[in-house]
Amino acid sequence: MAKKRPHTKAKRAQLTDEEIPVVGAREPCPCGSGRRYKACHGRAAAHAITELVQRPFESLPGECDWVALRELVPAATAALTLREGLPEDVPSVTLATVLPMAWPALRRDDGSVLLGLQNDTASGDISRDLADTLQRALEAEPGSPVQGRRAPADGPRLQDLLDLSAPFEPVVHSGFEFWVPDADNATPEVAASLERANAAAIPTVRLQGVQAAYWCQTPEKNHLRWVMPHAEEQLLDALARLHAAGGSSLGEGTRLVGSFRAHGLTVPVWDLPTGVGAEDVEKPAAEFAERLAGALAADAPLTAEERRARGGLTNRQVTLS
């Protein structure tokens, strides 16, 4: 009888961490450890996905407006300036709240780039995901959209790609015609997406006298939503002081009703009567900004009435992100 040959395991080539591909969570890890991917090299990847950057737009010019365009404004654009300048075949890069079919980015026929802001992202760092999408859009073929993906954990962020000395100046639009230079010649898919988006857009106006304050019109009442850069606890104290003193409104019939949390910043919200337009709140908003500056500078402990006002504001706070 022939002898059984001793069983030997073939040696697997050793892979570096950089060479390990992403596989299904329950599949064997490609490194050869014998463990499932989720219990081996997938642990670091999962941590990178779930780790949330609380203020993804921090240090970008116009951080408050970035938050507003991400969460509050239906249709808006803003020109972006790259730190290293534009490639020769890219005439411009423009940030847009939304793109047709929810594309993350679009390289137009003329080579210009539109970068969508209101998209689901694969990681906890919106800035890194957007930077990855932007880089791929700059290299895409003209006339093609850019699909989403999980950005490399060590990839650049917007803060690395954009010129931080350039101003950030959003332009709010009444609709999404900025998607296509010639809407009459849009593809049926884009035309249908444009029609749906225009039908759903809430009329919105950015105030001129203060930063990152946006008036919007809804069927029931109008609102002012104002993204503020101040530390949350300090801002809530200041708002409570003004509310207790009767100084938190923006005029007759208006009311501070609460606030959002969005991307590390606080967004106070006022209800406005239906007949109050954006131009009607320009002066009251500027006057409120002066009152708020004084309240922010106060350092005395809150009174009992101010604490009650603060509790009411806190109870009506909603987290968007």
Evaluate if pTM is beyond 0.85. no
Two tokens, residue 129: 């995901």
Two tokens, residue 188: 């049926």
105-107 and 76-80 beta bridge pairing: unpaired
| pLDDT values of the chain reduced to their tens digit, one per residue, 321 residues | 444 444 444 444 455 555 666 655 567 888 878 787 657 766 655 444 447 899 999 999 999 999 999 999 999 999 999 999 999 999 999 999 999 989 999 999 999 999 999 998 878 999 999 999 999 999 999 999 999 988 998 899 999 999 999 999 999 999 999 988 776 667 888 888 888 989 989 999 999 999 999 999 998 899 999 999 999 999 999 999 999 999 999 999 999 999 999 999 999 999 999 999 999 999 999 999 999 999 999 999 999 999 999 999 999 888 776
> Does domain 204-319 match CATH 3.40.50?
no
Count CB atoms within 10 A of the CB of residue 187.
Answer: 10
Q: Where are the domains of the chain?
A: 63-200, 204-319
- For residue 103, is it left (φ>0), alpha (ψ between -120 and 50) or beta? beta
CA angle 26, 27, 30 (to 5 degrees): 135
How far is the CA of 311 from the CAs of 64, 110, 294, 305, in angstroms?
Answer: 25, 54, 21, 10
Q: What is the DSSP letter of 82?
A: B
